[in-house]
Amino acid sequence: MIYLTAILVIVLIWWFYLRTKPEITGIRRILLIFLRSTYLILLLILLLNPILYFSKQLSIKPEIIILSDNSLSMDQTNGQQDKKSLFKLFNQKIQDRLKSSRYRISEYNFAAGLEGNPELTDLTLTLEQLTEVHDLTDVKSLFLLSDGWFKDEDIRIIDQLNLPINTIEVDFPSEDADLQVTSLKVNRQAYLEELTPIIVEVNALDYQGEALLSIYSRDKQLASRKVDFSTENLQQIVFDLEFTEPGLTPLQARLEALDHDETYSSNNSLSDAVQVLQSRSVIAIISDQPSWDAKFMIDALRPHQRWETRFLLKTDRLYQGEMVIQWQELLPHLAVIILINNKNLRLDPEDTGFIRNFLQQGGGLIFMGRFHPDLADILPVMPSGITDSFQGLLSLTEDSQQYDTFQLISQQELKNIPPVSYYYINPKLQARILATIDNEEQSPALLFDYSGEGRILYCSFHDLWKWQLRSSDSVFNELISGLCQWIGQQSTDRFFVNLQRNEFSAGEMIDFQVQAFNELLAPARNLTVKMTLQSVTGEITNESYLTETLKGYELRFRIDIPGEYFYSVETETFQQETKGSFLVVPADWENRNLGINKPLLAYISERTGGNMFNPDELDEFRPEIIPERKLSQKYEIPLYRKWYLITLFLVAFSLELYLRKRWGLL
């Protein structure tokens, strides 16, 4: 259509210029016809918006990616050659086979990512970066040329890659004697002047004799012990240490050969860190007489390291065993008071005054049993006038589901709770009823309220301990410990930072997780959570906002410079902040392990559907011949968008007007 219109325009213009006054020469006539035809055709193009289409047929060869490990562990030798030279020969063989089969080859070096820090090998980061920088559409498989010593927490990314990963099975024996500290296990938290177990696993390869295992903190020896490897290579040594200073304490286990020299000593030490706290939080269970309720509560709380549980008998005085104690002796680490009233609990003004002040300062109170009139102003209930106890079954209310603690109790577990001995009480208006008795009145059984900065949980019943005898698992223990953790938690502590460890290697990926809770201790969502990280000199090294996930709020980052780092997490919603610290130590992972990690390499190839080739199989390797993929690429040229067409239109139009005027045609 455009072509016919253009021809018609040219014919009409030729006819228009066939006769002119005055007459012009043939060359001038042709020039004017050309100029007018040009700008009118260009005007037509701009008005009709035509698009030119072109297509091109491409043949794309299948592709293989080769990932070559260039971390420091590849520099290890076996007396003849290093790993890097050995895998370089394999690389050349693979490329020769692939080129003969018309494959495209893409090669990358990796360590802590593509072309990353050689002091650490991170396969997960490497594959993540590979998917970002390389189109995997035509990639048929991947060759992983590595010794298999990775620092990844897990390698689940190989499932997400959806590519066969081929590995190399090679023997790389070392005849040198080698001592190794293979594991250092320590609790993340310890307490002052309490024995803390430190478990060290050591191994000896081609070494028979004695070695000295020592525990150091900041180059100060805390303990040492001789280890005899003459009969057993792999051993586990336990140290019981007592810390005398609070704070983040670095620990290092060092193993020193006494009878022979070693070629490799980088794997003779391993470090970690422990957060030493001032003291355990105290949970005081106070009753007017020994009871099964108290006994089973003590058993449920005893396994928790963060708590020290004390049973106190309250008669005319407060007794711990046969010793009279004062309330102030429970401070400053008292977190929860559990009062059990078996009808005879006597409280004098000093007792009630201490409890009130304790709640005002943010402490927690769990009251169980018969109503006590001396605490009427702080308890979330009022007396009913009925003093006798009755039997009934417990039933949770909808309000209880707002608290994670009660979600431990399934409907089946609720049926396992035997009848309890309960008292009739009347709830105050502000109290939250979390459980009721299954009777006609649906009388309150479990109530929650605040008093000052503290929390109060009122249980109008006894004999919950019988549930433990019917339950097949530890739900009773988890409920009791969960209630104490909830009631004893300071109301201002809404942030909980979860770090895998207290110590990380330089360049290692750190998963920083934060859980945030609202005033009902339900997970808080849609918050703006910010983390600020400072070095020991006060320099801010990282200031980032966390990403919300199903688990809470998360941030992943790396630190390359060793030292102690201090973090603070805050949100404007709560106007609160939590702080902590961790250590970053020089990376020594690459020299800790000798030889080839064959089990992991075999797992990777089997998991992804690849192959693990030995050197003989590699010589006979013939890749599958895959036909080239045909691709048709289409190109569009929108002529009306080209600036030079508009320029040409203006030039042709202006030049024709100028020539017509000059030659007397206007």
State pLDDT tens for residues 113-170.
898 888 888 899 999 999 999 988 888 899 999 988 888 877 888 988 889 999 998 8
Arithmetic mean of pLDDT, 40-55: 73
Distance between CA atoms of 25 and 16, rounded to whole angstroms?
Answer: 15
What does each C-alpha distance from 639 to 56, 459, 561 come to in angstroms?
Answer: 19, 82, 56
Cα three-residue angle 489-495-501, rounded to 5 degrees: 105
- Report the pLDDT value the prediction gives residue 65, as an integer from 0 to 100: 92
pLDDT greater at residue 372 or residue 491: 372
Name the pLDDT band for 496 (thresholds 50, 70, 90).
Answer: confident
Q: Is the pLDDT of residue 523 over 90?
A: no
Cα within 13 Å of Cα(506), Cβ side: 14
Neighbour tally for 22: CB within 10 Å: 7
> Do residues 577 and 493 lie in contact, with contact meaning Cβ atoms separated by under 8 Å?
no
Instruction: Answer positive or negative: Cα dihedral of 652, 653, 657, 658.
Output: negative
Alpha helices in 112-229 (DSSP H): 123-133, 157-161
- β-strands 318-320, 307-314: how paired? antiparallel
Cα within 13 Å of Cα(217), Cβ side: 17
Q: Is the pLDDT of residue 519 over 60?
A: no
Distance between CA atoms of 67 and 122, rounded to whole angstroms?
Answer: 12
Arithmetic mean of pLDDT, 433-443: 92
pTM tops 0.75, yes or no: no
Distance between CA atoms of 368 and 594, rounded to whole angstroms?
Answer: 60
Bridge partners of 189, per DSSP, are 275
Distance between CA atoms of 456 and 6, rounded to whole angstroms?
Answer: 91
What is the chain's mean pLDDT, rounded? Answer: 84
Bridge partners of 407, per DSSP, are none
Among all chains, which residue has been given the structure tokens 């003093």? 387
Arithmetic mean of pLDDT, 196-219: 87
Cis check: omega of the bond before 22, within 30 degrees of 0:
yes
How does pLDDT run across 363-405, given as a tens digit for each residue? 999 999 999 999 999 999 999 989 899 999 999 998 888 776 7
> Do residues 532 and 567 lie in contact, with contact meaning Cβ atoms separated by under 8 Å?
yes
At position 194, the amino acid (one-letter code) is E
Helices (H) and strands (E) counted in the chain, each on its own, are 13, 40
- Report the pLDDT value the prediction gives residue 645, as an integer from 0 to 100: 76
- Report the pLDDT value the prediction gives residue 109, as an integer from 0 to 100: 94
- β-strands 165-168, 612-613: how paired? parallel
Arithmetic mean of pLDDT, 571-590: 78
Among the listed residues 221, 233, 230, the one whose alpha carbon sits nearest the alpha carbon of residue 182: 233
Q: Which of 430-439, 481-490, 545-554 has the highest mean pLDDT?
A: 430-439
How does pLDDT run across 210-260, given as a tens digit for each residue? 889 999 988 889 999 999 888 888 899 999 998 888 877 888 898 888 877
At position 658, the amino acid (one-letter code) is Y
- Report the pLDDT value the prediction gives residue 369, as an integer from 0 to 100: 94
Cis check: omega of the bond before 615, within 30 degrees of 0:
no
- Report the pLDDT value the prediction gives residue 264, as an integer from 0 to 100: 67
How does pLDDT run across 102-129, given as a tens digit for each residue? 788 899 999 988 988 888 888 999 999 9
Using only the alpha carbons of the chain, give its radius of gyration.
Answer: 39
- Report the pLDDT value the prediction gives residue 472, as an integer from 0 to 100: 64
> Do residues 250 and 503 lie in contact, with contact meaning Cβ atoms separated by under 8 Å?
yes
> Do residues 528 and 545 lie in contact, with contact meaning Cβ atoms separated by under 8 Å?
yes
Distance between CA atoms of 20 and 30, rounded to whole angstroms?
Answer: 13
Q: Which residues of 432-470 are buried (b: 16+ CB within 10 A; e: fewer)?
A: bbbbbbeeeeebbbbbbbbbbebbbbbbbbbbbbbbbee
- Report the pLDDT value the prediction gives residue 293, as an integer from 0 to 100: 93
Q: Is the pLDDT of residue 420 over 90?
A: yes
